[in-house]
Amino acid sequence: MYKDIRNIAIIAHVDHGKTTLVDEMLKQSGTFRENEEVAERVMDSGDLEKEKGITISSKNTAVKWGDTKINIVDTPGHADFGGEVERILKMVNGVIILVDAAEGPLPQTKFVLRKSLQLGYEPIVVINKIDRKDARPDEVLNEIFDLFVVLDATNEQLDFPIIYAEGINGIAKSELEEDNDDLSPLFEQIIETIPAPEQVMDAPFKMLVSSMDWSDYVGRIAIGRVEQGTIEQGQQIALLDRNGDLKEKAKATKLFTFNGLKREPVEKAIAGDIFALAGYEKVDIGDTLTATTDMTALDYYDIDQPTMAMFFRVNDSPFAGLEGDYVTSNQIKDRLMRETRTNVSIEVEQTEDPDIYKVSGRGELQLAILIETMRREGYEFSVSRPEVLYQEIDGQKHEPFEEVVVDVHEDYSNRVIDNLQQRKGIMTSMTQEGENNRLIFKVPSRGLIGFRGEMLTETRGTGIMHQQFDAYEPFAGKIPGRNSGTLISLEKGEVTSYALEGLQDRGTFLVEPGDKVYEGQVVGINNRSDDLVVNVVKKKNLTNHRATQSADAVKIDPAKKMSLEQCIEFIDDDELLEVTPKSLRIRKKYLDFNERKRAKKNKEFA
């Protein structure tokens, strides 16, 4: 056992370099063998995490520095995964707040810092990426100090230690001018600043479940910090829910401690350390594991509520069941329920229709990640347009608002400002940094659906946007929807180049020759604002006249390929997105033209 333990979380805005810094900490603490092959961003183990370059679920690791064991939790930086960050903070005794030396503190920095200051932690500030050409560490330090003041930090919290780092090169310094080539100043600062956990050994064992994992060998694995006492393998332990009611009594079949990236089996776990425990099938995040001599639950810190919902439904298109392995409502329901066990910020409700489930989460990205994960697992289903969740406060309708930060070249800033104002956004500040403007807005969440794509088009792909849930505010009124209509397939069949050639001036197509389509499927984006039914499967009439060579050379613009996130942003209230392991198809809710007309009429009279 270690004489000393430190439990820390690394918190930061997305892409400020948390995972890269943890990689270097693992390497320099001797976690890997000298000849061991180590992947880049080794902590981002999921396929989606690797592809998108973001951390989606928090990870536990541990390094040794001298006689001290440092348990490190790498947390997600994206606002939609804030639920992960909040519960992880309860497991540690201090935080490292990482800020990019060029970008400065961004919305998620503010969010995670507020949470950690409320818990009374005294953070270590790491100004990362000081090797960037546009780094401005002194100004960023002032911005961080101002942020601490705004968030009502105590005098002790304001007296934070500062480390300057080049995470990618594994270098940390206490002073900018210092000459140093490793991370030892950071390790020493952690041991000096972060308090050791209180280790009450002579009390009954208690542990709050803060995180969950799964293993094919031992089933569900509960992860958390041992609050008091000790536990030995095979000991009889009770599992209590958040209200203190008994869920099950069972033996702790396996105990694990963290060492580097591995979970190592141990015989005993002690107070203050972060451990993993197997043997409890019904365990959920927020439950308490306790010795049977003291059946009281630990306080659970409630996380923020979801702000957005989508309806997941059984796919009922003419192509249903052709590409997916799991297509029934029971299979979809079981998968969604499994998600709620490990992902505390997702809620699933059954609607009146047994084939439709309402799935609520923190934002579009979180729901898109769930959809993409299910799709890769072989599920086939369809989803509706995201909608915000309203609240009734003092008899008045309130809706979620977000703080939006857009970094954009000054040539395009007027376009972005106009667009956000049309979406009921209110500008709170505008600052200039070189040729770029930083615009800060408060915008209703529903006004941001579809905004990212429009902003990238308006700024020629150069604008950068960050958003973060701010608060519930009074309903902001009607917001204009999508300004372009769709091109809808008239009948089922295979798309022909002959048909597309004749329709090219109508808009941009999402399909190409050879694709199979069905009646009511959206096959393109109309140049006008209304919907237009077109025949994309029309074949050329065969005659016995031979055409000239030039008449056969058909030139067709390439089809527009939309990612899952772009499809979710694009679909309208009367449309669904059909999701299968192989395809993404946008379709009308009512495939038949006359049914669509009837539904539109009923809506107008309603």
3-class SS of residue 433:
strand
Asked if residues 520 and 587 have their Cβ atoms less than 8 Å apart, the reply is yes
Asked if residues 88 and 211 have their Cβ atoms less than 8 Å apart, the reply is yes
Is 130 annotated as a binding-site member?
yes
Is 19 annotated as a binding-site member?
yes
Cα separation of the two ends of the chain: 69
Among candidate residues 99, 27, 29, 18, the one with its CA nearest the CA of residue 59: 18
Q: How many other CB atoms are found less than 10 A from the CB of residue 118?
A: 12
3-class SS of residue 309:
strand
d(CA 390, CA 398): 6
Largest distance between two CA atoms of the chain: 97
Q: Give me the DSSP letters along 477-501.
A: ------SS-EEEESSSEE--HHHHH
* Tokens read off for 25: 């900490």
Is 483 annotated as a binding-site member?
no
In DSSP terms, which residues pair with 117 in a beta bridge? none
In DSSP terms, which residues pair with 387 in a beta bridge? 309
Is 545 annotated as a binding-site member?
no
Is 15 annotated as a binding-site member?
yes
d(CA 483, CA 375): 29
Asked if residues 467 and 407 have their Cβ atoms less than 8 Å apart, the reply is no
Among candidate residues 316, 298, 163, the one with its CA nearest the CA of residue 244: 298
Asked if residues 524 and 570 have their Cβ atoms less than 8 Å apart, the reply is no
CA atoms within 13 Å, Cβ hemisphere of 362:
22
Is 18 annotated as a binding-site member?
yes
Is 398 annotated as a binding-site member?
no
Would you list which residues are annotated within the binding site? Answer: 15-20, 128-131
Would you list which residues are annotated within the binding site for GTP? Answer: 15-20, 128-131
